[in-house]
Amino acid sequence: MLTAFARAFRTPDLRKKLLFTLAIIVVYRIGTHIPIPGVDYKNVQQCMDVASSNRGLFSLINMFSGGALLQITIFALGIMPYITASIILQLLTVVIPRLEALKKEGQAGTAKITQYTRYLTVALAILQGTGLVATARSGALFSGCPVASQIVPDQSIFTTITMVVTMTAGTGVVMWLGELITDRGIGNGMSILMFISIAATFPSALWAIKLQGKLAGGWIEFGTVIAVGLVMVGLVVFVEQAQRRIPVQYAKRMIGRRSYGGTSTYIPLKVNQAGVIPVIFASSLLYIPSLIAQFSGGNSGWKTWVQNNLTKGDHPVYVATYFLLIVFFAFFYVAISFNPEEVADNMKKYGGFIPGIRAGRPTAEYLSYVLNRITWPGSLYLGLIALVPTMALVGFGASQNFPFGGTSILIIVGVGLETVKQIESQLQQRNYEGFLR
């Protein structure tokens, strides 16, 4: 494996791509530590030391920004507006016929949808930046911090607009950096930046577990978390690579004197066809009642119920709701991202059929049946992985200090596998050994 990495750096064009990607990552990490104007950085650091600050409402966005959100830097919003915009456009493609037609136009249509995604990203960045500034000014960003209301000393309109514009511009720069990696580097740029943002929080989270541990100076807890993390990574890799291969046979066609077709292939249906999207959907949806309750006045009954049941990660109501939402969104996303009828029609158009299944409607029904069967274990797997931090909350007392679970481990493993495959494919153009002999 080390020989394969050395060979990658000895290849001139691949070395340039790797070094370019590393340079963009360095620029991105520097930007996550530059505070925006109008923020008292000393008060921010004082509030960051409060133990409860990392368990707040914005923990998911803070994870995607590499810890930049709670530090209120120029890249505070990180890549989250782009992820949200991409998901919204992907959902609207199923609903709006115009977007669906653009998707079928090939590269030109995809470029147009990408342009719409950029516009929506900027709009969402303005909206999220305004919400973050308002939250920071009110002191609700850090719960339990005595100087939380003094993070933004100057609360004039000009300062507020400057902060929002700076964070929106930072989101645009992050989006540009990601596209640079995609065009001139290795892997998908947005996924790489997301990978780096999550991986950057691992050292501090692991060390916090060691400091909070009580057995042998915290080293036993630290070692236990590392061992559990390795098992989790192995499990996620196993399930992410698992797929049901449906065989497809193409009939022979004679055109003139030449014979076309007659080949056999397969349709790969992954066990986790939805990826990490259901976990993000469920987390975002559960944040909405908490966000409404946080900014609503008075002490009404529904507000008290939400604060007691939907804001604590270890509460049974929260755990059950979170798990059921993940299972629901797994089926929902698979239903809109994979259309069995469209696949069956394309197979019929090009003379393909599944052995033992008639072409057309029976093929679509068979694909739907198989897809539903494999989505059940995939959705349950997602729900259990997402609840690992909750089990860590019970076992270690701090769910946000347990990195090997939930959205983070799914993204880390998924992006890592995809990037390694891209490097390996470029290596195999010159040498067929790859990373694993």
pLDDT band (50, 70, 90) for residue 285: confident
Task: Provide CB contacts within 8 A for 154, sequence distance 6+.
Answer: 38
Q: Helices H, strands E: what count in the chain?
A: 19, 5
If DSSP codes are grouped into helix, strand and coil, which group holds residue 396?
helix
Closest CA relative to residue 293, chosen from 314, 308, 313? 308
What Cα–Cα distance (Å) separates residue 196 from each residue in 9, 30, 153, 199?
21, 12, 32, 5
What Cα–Cα distance (Å) separates residue 56 from each residue in 266, 287, 311, 378?
46, 10, 9, 29
Contact predicate 71/79, CB 8 Å? no
Q: What is the structure's pLDDT at 400?
A: 47
Give 150-195 pLDDT, tens digit per residue.
788 888 888 889 999 999 999 999 999 999 999 888 888 888 988 8
Contact predicate 333/274, CB 8 Å? yes
Taken in order 132, 35, 186, 233, is the CA torsion positive or negative? negative
Give 86-99 pLDDT, tens digit per residue.
888 888 887 888 88
Tell me: pLDDT of 394 over 90: no
Q: What is the structure's pLDDT at 98?
A: 87
For the ranges 55-69, 100-114, 132-146, which has the lowest average pLDDT?
A: 55-69
CB count in 10 Å sphere of residue 60: 19
Give 32-45 pLDDT, tens digit per residue.
888 888 888 788 87
Q: What is the structure's pLDDT at 118?
A: 92
Give this prediction's pTM. 0.79
Tell me: pLDDT of 51 over 50: no
Q: What is the structure's pLDDT at 110?
A: 84
Taken in order 66, 71, 73, 78, is the CA torsion positive or negative? positive
Distance of alpha carbon 287 from alpha carbon 279, whole angstroms:
12
Closest CA relative to residue 414, chosen from 244, 276, 251, 209? 276
318 or 216, which is more confident?
318
